[in-house]
């Protein structure tokens, strides 16, 4: 872009142009920016041209201590610019209304200028005031626990409420403040189902006693459940707060059934009933209601009155006595519910009071998940991002005709069947490893009794609360709903991203060569295809949204949603990496959103966050947690780093911090326990670590922790194991090494040669490229990696000449072509470059494992209609997620490494 810094000129005083991912937006925004090594020294301030106040901090550093990634935040802008210029070395402007965080006795007070938010030890937010007038109070988490799955018609539901045990101020302004709250849900035994008084008495009288106290201690471990973390994001000048809620499932799937999970707020109602308003978002606009309606009456109050009420303004004096004298005879609608039971439809209903029948309201398809309750004198906006995608969800308004209304955003609707997390089959007699391996041969499911347990999986939701001084006009409400759906994000161009030298091997698209243009078309085809499949196949729902299916069943014209290990993909063969690299190089917003949703899902649902498998993820299955293969290859930090660095998202940072000591997970479970030919028990002094899938995930976690926190332990383990691999006689070709947990070093005496086709398919090439680019000075490491890259696809005679025998188990030829390309680029070997492209196009090699993508030269979509399908769909039977992800990664890296050879291939 004009005026942007050129390569080698990104440092103090240089300008980096920031552009919007989608469109300019008026909300507070946080984003990340990468910097070339040595360009920005520690402690360098940042400013935005034009005097826009910005808050900045460092999220990662290079080994020399210079800034690798910085994060920045701006408050809401009345007229946001189309782009911004970020200048390192200049002091930032101060906001006119800085966000402040102060302690007032036992209360934490956050002021954003127009709005004051009070936090205490009982609720997430104790009170919300706008201009001194209280808008809302008692913002808290609520849940319903049910004792049966409701299959026999009998049930007992017990209300719970979230109790705060810890409050931490992570940032305190001046542009952005972040407050983290932690706690658990406890039985709600307060009057009328209100646990506020109970919780306050148990925890103490406020913030001072809440800090540091464990909720389980206060309530009793047997009574509490669903540990949660909530972050509240405040921006200078903002009237809204962003709420990021994460909870971990710690129930017993056989007897605990979650029947409701929500965020509740009390809303102060001061206005006359006909000046109170309810707004609930539909697929396009809003349900526009007054608690006491003045439209459609037999007696007309006048156009001015009707228009004012419909637009959410005070109606003023009602001049017609025929109407004014009969207001008490017009029903007041007290309660409203919008229930999104599926991705295809929501229902609406309202009633005048408890004990009276509900009246149905015309229904719709996909609610945007935003609501408002209040009046001309103020009210509360509230909503849930991806509302219909994360069904079953619900918006409730209760007591709108009373002095204190209640608004609830339900993350799991109480109107839906309770959440049933029991395992999906009875085991079918697969009680031994031999039986389980036999099952693997037919359904590809790696079953083991007791291993399909969801205890420890998590889910994150993003919500918003907005204090409004009056009922917002329809256009403003629509804007709030749009911002909730696609939050604003600033980013740099792909060229500027590449200039920084982050994330290893990739380059922006170059269509100047016809063969490269054809590959780019196919890369676009694949990302577009998965976006389309998500919609057509309805890959939505509380636990499912963000993931994709593993393999296709052309006979039934459906993905294999019900076949063992062929159903949900759970990061198998790195679709996360493929989508993120495709975003980096193209800057496409739709690809970013695909990758963002996948990272949110795979980092939470597919990974254990507490319990015996904490830190491990589950291989692909009909249920996300169903497979007995629990490995670091799924909880891989390599899959989360992109979202963290691009957005500075603290929750993603939590997931990375859970992997502070990833090597210790090998004590919990031996990944090879079912197929070992040797006798092995996990030994802290000699832990079996695969040098492909396992070490790649370890290295990603250690590298990320080192660059984020300067963690010397992580650095030493990374460098030590790199040196160990370099010292092994056959390097990466050894396949496995034994790790001493105390020293963090490998035993380097092993001389075996053992190659797996999976070793390089879970982020190992990408992490090795980053490590080599860092020039860490580890003897033998680059040589060991280049040997692996050279020999994997080499002729059998060359393999035998170098390591004593031909390598066995060679497959996934196209995926591994990028290894040959990497070796070619590092060594300048033109023949290796040509080999890489031959193997990519697969005109030779292991035909039994030929990539199915290559069987369909046209890469066409087929439309399927008629009685064989539930509804019209498009299919590409030659596509599986394994092949799509690895085609994408190989194409991207080959183009970056040896793209020049395409013109002669």
pLDDT tens digits along 414-457: 999 999 999 999 999 999 999 999 999 999 999 999 999 999 99
Task: For residue 101, list its beta bridge partners.
Answer: 110
With tokens 């996360």, the residue in question is 576
Percent with pLDDT over 70 in the chain: 93
Q: Using CA atoms, how far apart are residues 400 and 68, in angstroms rounded to an integer?
A: 51
Q: Using CA atoms, how far apart are residues 733 and 791, in angstroms rounded to an integer?
A: 9
**Tokens standing for residue 564:** 């063992």
Asked if pLDDT for residue 207 goes beyond 70, the answer is no
Q: Quick one: pLDDT band at residue 810, thresholds 50, 70, 90?
A: very high
C-beta of residue 753 within 8 angstroms of C-beta of residue 730? yes
Q: Quick one: pLDDT band at residue 809, thresholds 50, 70, 90?
A: confident
Q: Using CA atoms, how far apart are residues 410 and 423, in angstroms rounded to an integer?
A: 25
Asked if pLDDT for residue 219 goes beyond 60, the answer is no
Q: Quick one: pLDDT band at residue 217, thresholds 50, 70, 90?
A: very low
The CA-atom distances, in angstroms, between 448 and each of 431, 432, 673, 680 are: 7, 8, 12, 19
Question: Could you tell me how far CA 581 lies from the centroid of its own chain?
Answer: 16
For the stretch 699-708, pLDDT in tens is 999 999 999 9
Percent with pLDDT over 90 in the chain: 89
The candidate with the shortest Cα–Cα distance to 263, out of 235, 241, 243, is 243
- How confident is the model at residue 851, as a pLDDT? 47
Q: Quick one: pLDDT band at residue 191, thresholds 50, 70, 90?
A: low
Asked if pLDDT for residue 212 goes beyond 80, the answer is no
- How confident is the model at residue 122, as a pLDDT? 77
Asked if pLDDT for residue 858 goes beyond 90, the answer is no
DSSP 529: H
- Alpha-helix residue ranges (DSSP H) falling in 426-502: 433-443, 474-485, 494-499
The segment with the largest mean pLDDT, out of 5-14, 115-124, 777-786, is: 777-786
- How confident is the model at residue 903, as a pLDDT? 78
What lies within 8 Å, CB to CB, of 528 at 6+ separation is none
For the stretch 304-345, pLDDT in tens is 999 999 999 999 999 899 999 999 999 999 999 999 999 999
Asked if pLDDT for residue 270 goes beyond 90, the answer is yes
What lies within 8 Å, CB to CB, of 864 at 6+ separation is 557, 872, 873, 874, 875
C-beta of residue 337 within 8 angstroms of C-beta of residue 349? yes
**Tokens standing for residue 446:** 């790696």
Q: What's the mean pLDDT in 759-785? A: 98
Asked if pLDDT for residue 620 goes beyond 80, the answer is yes
- How confident is the model at residue 205, as a pLDDT? 28
C-beta of residue 669 within 8 angstroms of C-beta of residue 613? yes
Asked if pLDDT for residue 192 goes beyond 60, the answer is no
What lies within 8 Å, CB to CB, of 340 at 6+ separation is 346, 366, 367, 369, 387, 388, 391, 392, 393, 394, 413
DSSP 396: E
Q: Quick one: pLDDT band at residue 842, thresholds 50, 70, 90?
A: confident
Q: Quick one: pLDDT band at residue 800, thresholds 50, 70, 90?
A: very high
Answer yes or no: pTM beyond 0.85. yes
The CA-atom distances, in angstroms, between 783 and each of 696, 732, 772, 799, 818 are: 17, 10, 10, 16, 17
For the stretch 552-582, pLDDT in tens is 999 999 999 999 999 999 999 999 999 999 9
**Tokens standing for residue 49:** 């041209």
- How confident is the model at residue 193, as a pLDDT? 44
Query: Greater confidence, 854 or 475?
Result: 475
Asked if pLDDT for residue 852 goes beyond 60, the answer is no
Query: Greater confidence, 110 or 860?
Result: 110
Asked if pLDDT for residue 628 goes beyond 90, the answer is yes
Q: Using CA atoms, how far apart are residues 748 and 737, in angstroms rounded to an integer?
A: 7
What is the per-residue DSSP string for 196-231?
HHHHHHHH-SSHHHHTT--HHHHH-TTT-EEEEEEE
Task: For residue 34, list its beta bridge partners.
Answer: 69
- How confident is the model at residue 843, as a pLDDT? 52
Q: Using CA atoms, how far apart are residues 854 and 845, in angstroms rounded to an integer?
A: 13
Asked if pLDDT for residue 866 goes beyond 50, the answer is yes
In Å, the largest CA–CA distance within the chain is 103
In a 13 Å sphere around the CA of 51, the CA atoms on its Cβ side amount to 3
Q: Using CA atoms, how far apart are residues 187 and 892, in angstroms rounded to an integer?
A: 52
- How confident is the model at residue 154, as a pLDDT? 77
C-beta of residue 483 within 8 angstroms of C-beta of residue 381? no
């Amino acid at each position: 872009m004009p005026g942007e810094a050129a390569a080698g000129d990104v440092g103090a005083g240089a300008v980096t142009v920031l552009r919007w991912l989608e469109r300019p937006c008026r909300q507070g925004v946080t984003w990340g920016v990468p910097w070339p090594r040595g360009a920005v020294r520690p402690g360098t301030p940042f400013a935005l041209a034009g005097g826009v106040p910005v808050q900045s901090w460092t999220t990662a550093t290079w080994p020399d201590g210079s800034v690798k990634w910085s994060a920045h935040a701006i408050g809401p802008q009345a007229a946001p610019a189309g782009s911004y210029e970020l200048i390192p070395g200049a002091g930032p402007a101060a906001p006119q209304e800085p966000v402040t965080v102060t302690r007032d006795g036992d209360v934490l007070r956050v002021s954003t200028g127009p709005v004051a938010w009070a936090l205490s030890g009982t609720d997430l937010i104790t009170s919300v005031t706008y201009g001194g007038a209280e808008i809302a109070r008692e913002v808290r988490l609520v849940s319903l626990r049910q004792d049966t799955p409701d299959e026999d018609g009998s049930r007992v539901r017990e209300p719970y409420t979230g109790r705060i045990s810890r409050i931490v101020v992570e940032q305190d302004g001046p542009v952005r403040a972040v407050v983290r709250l932690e706690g658990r849900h406890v039985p709600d035994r307060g009057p009328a189902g209100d646990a506020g008084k109970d919780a306050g008495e148990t925890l103490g009288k406020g913030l001072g006693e809440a800090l540091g106290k464990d909720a389980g201690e206060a309530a009793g471990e047997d009574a509490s459940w669903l540990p949660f973390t909530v972050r509240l994001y405040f921006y200078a000048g903002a009237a809204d707060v962003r709420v990021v809620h994460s909870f971990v499932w710690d129930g017993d799937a056989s007897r605990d059934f979650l029947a409701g999970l929500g965020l509740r707020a009390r809303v102060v109602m001061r206005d006359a009933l006909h000046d109170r308003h309810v707004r609930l978002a539909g697929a396009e606009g809003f349900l526009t209601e007054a608690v006491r309606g003045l439209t459609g009456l037999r007696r007309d109050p006048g156009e001015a009155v009707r228009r004012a009420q419909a637009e959410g303004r005070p109606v003023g004096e009602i001049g017609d006595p025929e109407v004014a004298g009969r207001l008490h005879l017009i029903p007041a609608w007290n309660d409203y519910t919008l229930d999104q039971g599926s991705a295809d439809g929501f229902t609406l209903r309202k009633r005048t009071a408890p004990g009276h029948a509900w009246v149905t309201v015309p229904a719709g398809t996909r609610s945007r998940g935003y609501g408002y309750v209040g009046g001309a004198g103020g009210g509360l906006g509230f909503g849930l991002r991806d509302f219909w995608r994360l069904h079953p969800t619900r918006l409730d308004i209760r007591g709108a005709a009373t002095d204190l209304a209640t608004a609830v955003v339900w993350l799991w609707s109480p109107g839906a069947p309770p959440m049933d997390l029991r395992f999906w089959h009875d085991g079918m007699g697969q009680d031994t490893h031999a039986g389980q391996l036999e099952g693997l041969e037919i359904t590809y499911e790696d079953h083991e009794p007791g291993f399909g347990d969801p205890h420890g999986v998590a889910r994150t939701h993003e919500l918003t609360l907005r204090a409004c001084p009056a009922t917002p006009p329809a256009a403003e409400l629509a804007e709030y709903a749009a911002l909730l759906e696609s939050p604003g994000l600033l980013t740099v161009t792909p060229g500027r991203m590449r200039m920084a030298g982050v994330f290893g091997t990739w380059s922006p698209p170059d269509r100047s060569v016809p063969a490269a243009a054809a590959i780019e078309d196919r890369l676009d085809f694949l990302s577009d295809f998965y976006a389309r499949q998500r919609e057509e196949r309805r890959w939505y729902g509380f636990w499912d949204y963000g993931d994709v299916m593993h393999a296709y069943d052309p006979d039934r014209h459906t993905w294999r949603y019900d076949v063992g290990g062929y159903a949900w993909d759970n990061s198998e063969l790195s679709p996360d990496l493929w989508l993120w690299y495709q975003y980096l190089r193209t800057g496409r917003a739709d690809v970013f959103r695909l990758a963002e949703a996948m990272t949110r899902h795979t980092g939470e649902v597919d990974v254990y966050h507490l319990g015996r498998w904490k830190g491990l993820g589950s291989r692909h299955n009909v249920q996300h947690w169903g497979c007995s293969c629990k490995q670091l290859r799924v909880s891989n930090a390599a899959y989360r780093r992109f979202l963290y660095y691009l957005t500075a998202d603290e929750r993603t940072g939590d997931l990375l911090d859970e992997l502070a000591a990833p090597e210790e997970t090998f004590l919990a479970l031996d990944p090879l326990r079912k197929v070992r030919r040797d006798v092995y028990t996990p030994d802290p002094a000699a832990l079996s670590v695969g040098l492909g899938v396992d070490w790649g995930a370890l290295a990603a976690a250690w590298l990320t922790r080192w660059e984020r926190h300067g963690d010397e332990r992580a650095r030493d383990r990374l460098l030590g194991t790199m040196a160990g691999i370099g010292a092994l006689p056959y390097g990466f070709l050894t396949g496995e090494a034994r790790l001493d947990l105390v020293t963090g070093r490998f035993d380097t005496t092993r001389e075996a040669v053992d190659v797996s086709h999976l070793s390089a398919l879970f982020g190992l090439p990408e992490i090795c490229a980053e490590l080599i680019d860092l020039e860490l000075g580890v003897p033998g490491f680059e040589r060991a990696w280049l040997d692996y890259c050279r020999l994997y696809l080499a002729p059998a005679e060359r393999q035998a000449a170098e390591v004593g025998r031909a390598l066995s188990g060679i497959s996934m030829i196209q995926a591994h072509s990028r290894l040959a390309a990497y070796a070619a680029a590092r060594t300048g070997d033109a023949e290796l470059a040509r080999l890489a492209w031959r193997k990519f196009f697969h005109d030779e090699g292991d035909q039994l494992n030929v990539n199915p993508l290559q069987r369909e030269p046209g890469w066409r979509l087929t439309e399927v209609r008629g009685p064989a399908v539930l509804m019209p769909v498009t299919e590409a039977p030659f596509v599986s997620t394994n092949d799509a992800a690895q085609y994408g990664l190989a194409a991207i890296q080959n183009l970056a490494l040896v793209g020049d050879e395409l013109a002669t291939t």
